Amino acid sequence: MSDGLVTRDFLCSSDEQNGNTKPSENAIMASDRALLTVSSRGQSLKEERLSTGRGDGASLPTAAASDNESGIFSGECELCEAHKAELDWFCATEQKLICSHCAILGPCRAHSLTPLDTRVSTVRNQLVDVCEKIQLQALRIDRFIEHTLTDKEQNLQVAASRAREQVLARVSAAREALEEEEQRLLEAVQREEERVEQCLLTQQAHWKQALARLSQTRVHLVHTLTHTPDAQLVTSAQEIADRVEEAEGVGEPCDTEQLNLNASCSNSKLLRGLWATAVLLGRNAHRTSFLKFDERTVGPLLTLSQDLFTLTFTNKRSRQPCPYDPARFDSWPNALGSQALSSDTHCWVLDVGQSAAFKVGVCYSSLERKGSGNEARLGYNSQSWVLSNYDGDYSFCHAGKKVPLQIVKRPQKIGVLLDWPSQTLLFYEPDSNAILHSITQTFTAPLLPACAVTDQSITIVH
């Protein structure tokens, strides 16, 4: 039986004959009606053949002619090569048509067998189901094209237009705010520059006058020393004392902060935030991927993981004695990074979610390592700058001074940004890029990442 030929005849419709291949409900319904008509006709022909007698050679040519005219059932008129009988059974095991003799006595007698007309009916029913499914699928596709995709296209245009407007509005607002901030800061710098210049001019005028008086006094005293007779010199002691007192009254010149530009004139929370965002999220964002803890510096209260990324505070029972090393902290639970930073821009992130007591920041490599004094305690000397957390109390610590930080939500991670060209140290929350604290400091030596832990553990995140 030629299933492929039957299927093609079943699916033929008036639209296909006219060259129109677009699926439509009418074409699919027409193909289904054709299928049902052909199925009925095939069943009638089968019953006619059975009524004339199975295996009757006289009836076979007529059936064959009828089937050949229809172009559908020509395969049913083939004869078994072994028994010259009509192929009226289907062997499911070998997937082929056989005659009754093959089914009863032949090699297929133990196989899964089905009468041909039953098999044909089953296949036709399956084809009807498939055609119905195809029809429904075609209808769904047609509706999807006509409605869903069309609506999506319209919505896309609206959403894209709204997104463009939003981008332009936000960029315009940011540009306007940035331009205003730029103008304000430039004016502040200009005023500060003018103030310092005026101070310098005043100082110059003052000290030039003082220098002139000193020069006159010195000339007078030198002249008195070299040209005054001894007797007159002795009697001129009071005059000489007055001249000396006048010279001493000039005083010593000293440099003051009033003669320097106040760096705060260019400090702006808005500008700093935009700059930090650009550094952290911009195309040229920096990441210190090489950062690890230096195991030589790890204090005796801490243990360092094998990958050198995690510091864990240890209780007294599990502490192990550490070999002596000049670089090791012998009292405080501190540890330093493995590489000094003295150029470019660097940032690193630490997972602090498990710890309720820690410090993160930077320090000079010359920081004291031995003893329990403040010289080796992070944040309590002039050589370290750290953000500290103790049971939810956040602060910035340097030289023993604490600046309380208002942090509403406890961060799971803390990032440290060091921009050496601008001498800026900044602490931020990586998930939101919110700035926790920042300072501008004149660093006089290379800096090392520094940490301290007195609860659980902290980890460098890569």
Closest CA relative to residue 189, chosen from 266, 260, 271, 258: 266
Range of the domain at 428: 285-461
pLDDT for the residue numbered 6: 34
State the pLDDT confidence band at 398, using cuts at 50, 70 and 90.
Answer: very high
Maximum alpha-carbon separation in the chain: 174
| Claim to verify: residue 136 and residue 168 sit in the same structural domain | no
Residue 322 has pLDDT above 60, yes or no: yes
Is 433 a domain residue? yes
Is 272 a domain residue? no
State the pLDDT confidence band at 149, using cuts at 50, 70 and 90.
Answer: very high
* Final residue in a domain of this structure, among 112, 147, 182: 147
Is 246 a domain residue? yes
Inter-residue contact 335 to 305 (CB < 8 Å) = no
- The string of DSSP codes covering 47-59 is HHHHHT-TT-TTH
Above pLDDT 90, what percent of the chain? 52
pLDDT for the residue numbered 315: 77
Residue 77 has pLDDT above 70, yes or no: no
How far the first Cα of the chain sits from its last, in Å, is 67
Q: By three-state DSSP, how is residue 429 classified?
A: strand
Inter-residue contact 346 to 362 (CB < 8 Å) = no
Parallel, antiparallel, or unpaired for β 345-351 and 457-461? antiparallel
Above pLDDT 70, what percent of the chain? 81
| Claim to verify: residue 140 and residue 172 sit in the same structural domain | no
Q: What's the CA dihedral at 225, 231, 236, 237 to 10 degrees?
A: 90
Q: Does pTM top 0.75 for this prediction? A: no
Residue with tokens 């030289």: 399
Q: In the chain, what are the helix, strand and coil shares in percent, each to the nearest 5? A: 45, 20, 35
321-345: buried (b, 16+ CB within 10 Å) or exposed (e) per residue?
ebeeeeebbeebbbbbbeeebeeeb
Across the range 325-347, mean pLDDT stands at: 92
State the pLDDT confidence band at 18, using cuts at 50, 70 and 90.
Answer: very low
State the pLDDT confidence band at 51, using cuts at 50, 70 and 90.
Answer: very low
pLDDT for the residue numbered 258: 86
Residue 103 has pLDDT above 60, yes or no: yes
Q: How many domains, in total, are found in the chain?
A: 3
* Final residue in a domain of this structure, among 147, 173, 198: 147
Q: By three-state DSSP, how is residue 380 classified?
A: coil
| Claim to verify: residue 332 and residue 228 sit in the same structural domain | no
| Claim to verify: residue 63 and residue 89 sit in the same structural domain | yes
| Claim to verify: residue 258 and residue 176 sit in the same structural domain | yes
DSSP state of 258: G
State the pLDDT confidence band at 451, using cuts at 50, 70 and 90.
Answer: very high
Q: What is the CATH number of the domain that holds 34?
A: 3.30.160.60
109 or 75, which is more confident: 109
Across the range 20-28, mean pLDDT stands at: 39
pLDDT for the residue numbered 47: 44
Q: What are residue 140's phi and psi, to 5 degrees?
A: -65, -40
Is 277 a domain residue? no
Q: Indicate the average pLDDT of the chain.
A: 81
Residue with tokens 């044909």: 120
